[in-house]
Amino acid sequence: MILTKSTLILLLATLSLAEPSPSSANLRPLRPHDPLAEAISSSLKRNDAGNTTTTNSSTDGADRVLRYSLQQKQFNGTAATTARRRRQQHKARRRDAMFESDEEARLVRREKWNWKHLEDYRGYLYFMEIEIGDPPQLVGLTPDTGSFETWVNPNCANAASAYLCAKNGMYHPEQSELAVTQNERFDFGYGSGWVNGLYYEDRIYFRNEDVGIRQKFGLATDSSYAVSGILGLGYGIGYTINYANVLDSLVKFDLINAPIYSVSLGGQGQGTSEIVFGGVNQARYSGYLQAVPIWPSVYEQAQDWVHYRVNVSSMGYTTPFGKKTSFFNPGTSSDLNVLVDTGVTYTVLPPAMVDAIAEQFGAKWDVGEYTVDCAMRDQPGTFDFGFNNDKLIIRVRYFDFILKIQEGRCTFGLQQGTDSDAILGNTFLRGAYVVYDQSTHALWMENYDECGSQVAAVGRSAGDVGRTRGLC
C-alpha cells in the first residue's frame, strides 16, 4: 500500500480510511522568508470588500477563538485504509453516526466561544458540517491536518458508501447568490481513489448566517471512493498553495489571532472531541504543553509539500502489570520522523516494526488489517510514544488504540506503511492533546485529560501556547 496524502474514506459495511497521495499541477506555492510576515501578517486586520463580513464579536485578541466540539458516536462497520487532501472551513454542526438516528445539524453557542460537533465513527472517521453560500447550504466534510485544500461534492455513485455520501449533503453553486467559478481545474490522486473538478469561490459561514468569509475551494465533478469532501488544515499560502486556505483566512479576517488550532479527539466513544481554532481548552490537559519542533523545518521540506512532521524518540508499551517494553528508544536507534495527521485512522509505521509489535500482541493479519482479541481493549495498558528525547511521553490506552469494529471483532491500531513514510493517526491522537502552531512551527503536546471546559485564546504573542497552563 502506498501511503502518501490522505483523506478519510468510508466503506458501506466497512469503514475504511485510505491514505491518498495528492498531486496538482495547478498549485504554484510561494515560499516567503517569514511565513507570518509575508503570507499571513500582511493580511491581518484587513477586511475584504465585496461579499465578506467580519465577526461581530469583540476584536480584542483574547476573544478570537472558534471552538468546534467533535461529538463521538458509535456505528457498525469494519476495516480501514487511509486517505486525504482538501481545504476548507468551519461553521460546523452535529451529525449522528451512520447507523444511528440522524440528528439535524445545529450550531451550538456558549458565551463568546463557538464550537461544532464532529461525529466519531467508532474511531475511524470524524465529520464536521459547514455552511456554504447564500442562502447557506450544509455540507459534511472530514477535517484533515494533513491536507492543504478543501473540496466538496464527491460522486456518490462511485463512493465507498453511497448512503453515507448522500447524508453528507451537496453544495449547489447555482443556488447561491455569491458563488463564482474560478475557471480553474484541479485533479488530485490518492492511494484509494481520485477527485477532479473546478475551483469556486463563495462565502463560508462560522458563527451565524451573518458572519462568514469569502473562500476559494474545490467543487468535484467526479471522484472515486470518497464519501465526503475535505477540510484542509495544513500549511497554505506561502508553503503549499498560492492562495489563502481556511486557516489563513481565519487569521486574515480577524477571527483568530494566528494560524493556530488545537485538537483533542479524546477517548474512543467517550467524552467530547473538539477543534479549537485560535485557542486551547485548558480543561483537556494538565500542566504546560511541550513544544515538539516540526522537523524537517518548513523551509527544508519539499516546497509544495510542507507538513506537520515531528520526530518520535521512542515507542513502546506498558502492560497491565506495569512492565515497560520499548520497540526503539534514544539509546538504541535514531528518531523516527512522522506525520501527525487527523486524516488517518491508524498509526502507520514501517512494515518490520508493525510486524514485530503485532506479534507481541498476538495480532493476526486479516483482510488488510491486524485483528486482536477484543478482551485486550479493557486491560489497563498503554502504548507509549516519546518526544524530545523522551522528555515527553504520550500514553494511549489500549481501549483507545484498539478499534472495536463490531461485536467480537477488533482491529489493532497499527498499519504497515513504508520505511520512509510513518504517520501518527487517530489511534495516537486519542491519547494526546495537540496544538498545531504555524506561528512557531511546532506541535505543542501533552497527554489528553478532561476536567470540564475552559477555552483560552492564544497567538497574541509567539509561544504563548506554552505559557497557557492546563487545569486538570
pLDDT (0 to 100) of residue 69: 63
pLDDT (0 to 100) of residue 119: 54
Residue 125 in grid coordinates: 472517521
pLDDT (0 to 100) of residue 122: 57
Spatial distance between the Cα atoms of 281 and 466, rounded to a whole number of angstroms: 13
pLDDT (0 to 100) of residue 271: 59
pLDDT (0 to 100) of residue 123: 62
Strands, E, within 343-402: which ranges?
A: 347-349, 364-366, 369-372, 382-387, 392-397
pLDDT (0 to 100) of residue 24: 32
Sheet containing strand 336-340, strands side by side: 309-312, 336-340, 422-424, 347-349, 414-416
Residue 322 backbone class (left: φ over 0; alpha: ψ -120 to 50; beta: rest) = left
Spatial distance between the Cα atoms of 311 and 293, rounded to a whole number of angstroms: 8
pLDDT (0 to 100) of residue 270: 62
**What pTM was computed for the model?**
0.77
Q: Of 120, 202, 248, 341, which one is the catalytic site residue?
A: 341
Domains of the chain and CATH, by start: 66-74+114-253 (2.40.70.10), 260-471 (2.40.70.10)
Q: Of 120, 144, 384, 437, which one is the catalytic site residue?
A: 144
CA 444 from centre of chain:
15
pLDDT (0 to 100) of residue 206: 65
Active site (annotated) includes residue 400: no
pLDDT (0 to 100) of residue 169: 92
Burial class (CB in 10 A: 0-12, 13-18, 19+), 35: buried
Instruction: Compute and round to an integer the Cα radius of gyration of the chain.
Output: 20
pLDDT (0 to 100) of residue 59: 33
pLDDT (0 to 100) of residue 127: 80
- pLDDT averaged per 10 residues, the chain (length 472): 26 25 30 29 29 32 68 33 27 25 25 39 73 92 90 92 88 95 88 86 74 90 90 93 93 92 82 86 97 95 91 94 87 86 90 91 87 93 96 96 87 89 94 97 96 93 95 96
pLDDT (0 to 100) of residue 178: 93
Spatial distance between the Cα atoms of 244 and 191, rounded to a whole number of angstroms: 26
Active site (annotated) includes residue 373: no
